[in-house]
């Protein structure tokens, strides 16, 4: 379980990801050991998944963002498709979904024609039967989990 103190610590690290544990303890008015143990607990539980930097594909040459709905060859199953898709670096996320499609794939591309190349790479896996692609015109926010984490602490 998480509590209000966990939420305060995570909020601070979300706003200032490079802050030291000592400075966090000063700003939060709690012991350094408390901050450290809480962070370790949150990481061990999986609530904090990574300390890796958040990368923006548009800033390093991949400004086109698309969401592809894939229908797969059912006898092959999802694992075979995911194993094939993981080798395509432009694929950022893959989710199994309900509805008419089987997978939702988030893709970054250099241009629309580059997106077509990525779509073709997905199609040649021979396990994708059909795809439908939607281009993102603007991103208002993404990876927005802090409000959810804070709500869980209440």
Q: pLDDT tens track of the chain, all 154 residues?
A: 899 999 999 999 999 999 999 999 999 999 999 999 999 999 999 999 999 999 999 999 999 999 999 999 887 778 888 998 999 999 999 999 999 999 999 999 999 999 999 999 999 888 888 999 999 999 999 989 999 999 999 8
Residue range(s) in the chain whose domain bears CATH number 3.30.70.920: 57-136
Which of 1.10.10.10, 1.10.3720.10, 1.20.1300.10, 3.40.50.1370 would CATH assign to domain 4-53?
1.10.10.10
Which pTM does this prediction carry? 0.86
**Tokens, residue 115:** 């997106």
- Pick from 142, 68, 51, 62: nearest CA to 105: 68
DSSP helix/strand/coil, 96: strand
Does the domain spanning 57-136 belong to CATH 3.30.70.920? yes
């Amino acid at each position: 379980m998480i509590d209000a103190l966990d939420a305060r610590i995570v909020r601070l690290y979300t706003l200032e990801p490079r802050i030291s544990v000592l400075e966090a303890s000063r700003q939060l008015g709690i012991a350094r050991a408390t901050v450290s143990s809480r962070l370790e607990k949150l990481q061990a539980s999986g609530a904090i998944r990574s300390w890796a930097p958040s990368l923006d594909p548009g800033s390093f040459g991949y400004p086109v963002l698309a969401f592809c709905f894939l229908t797969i060859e059912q006898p092959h199953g999802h694992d075979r498709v995911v194993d094939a898709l993981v080798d395509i670096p432009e694929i950022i996320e893959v989710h199994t979904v309900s509805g008419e499609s089987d997978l939702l794939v988030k893709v970054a591309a250099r241009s629309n024609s580059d997106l077509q190349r990525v779509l073709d790479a997905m199609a040649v896996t021979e396990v994708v039967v059909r795809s439908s692609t939607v281009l993102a015109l603007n991103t208002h926010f993404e990876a927005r989990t802090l409000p959810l984490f804070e709500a869980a602490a209440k």
